[in-house]
Structure 1
Amino acid sequence: MNYVLVPVLLVLMGLVAFSLIKGIVAFLKTTKIDLETGEGSTATDMQLAQNKAMFARIKYQALAIVVVAIIMAASR
């Protein structure tokens, strides 16, 4: 069972890192747009992308925690 769950955990960890980087890039683009225009209203699309990426990160982290809990329960 661990032979299946460990690769799943590694994939989820990769997805967490990818979502985190994607959210940070969206945040930086939002900040850049705000600084260039001086208005906060032009960056709504980037803010939505940032929120979407961060929600995905939280979802993948929760799934990774569940996989770790299953691995720990199976190793007893």
Structure 2
Amino acid sequence: MVESVLVTVFCCLLTGVVALLYSHEVRTTRAALGRGDVAQANVASRKAQSLVLFSLLFGLFASISWVVYVLVALYL
């Protein structure tokens, strides 16, 4: 959940919010884990983890691209 919030704030808002929703779903499926529904909890957890990673990589790519663009624009 913490990773989703940080990615939403610092990297990519759109996919970060979706990751935040899946992270919340993982928290609510802990009750399902108590009932033995491990498959549903694992699916939600993998989706949230994938979206956090995608958001982080997209945010880093956008930031690095922006820095390169600014440097090229300043020095050319």
Give the TM-score taking structure 2 as reference length: 0.67
Q: How many residues align?
A: 62
**Where does structure 1 lack aligned partners over 5 or more consecutive residues?**
1-14
Distance 1:17 1:59 in 2: 13
SS at match of 1:65: helix
Q: Deviations for 1:18-69, whole angstroms, at most 9, x for unmatched residues?
A: 1101111011011111135426862000000011100100111111111211
**Where does structure 2 lack aligned partners over 5 or more consecutive residues?**
1-10
1:72–1:36 distance in 2 versus 1, CA, 3 Å: same
The percent identity for this pair of structures is: 6
| 4+ aligned runs moved over 4 Å, structure 1 | none
1:55–1:41 distance in 2 versus 1, CA, 3 Å: farther
Give the TM-score taking structure 1 as reference length: 0.67
Q: CA RMSD in A?
A: 2.3
**Residue in structure 1 matching 2:16, options 20, 26, 46:** 20
1:40–1:21 distance in 2 versus 1, CA, 3 Å: farther
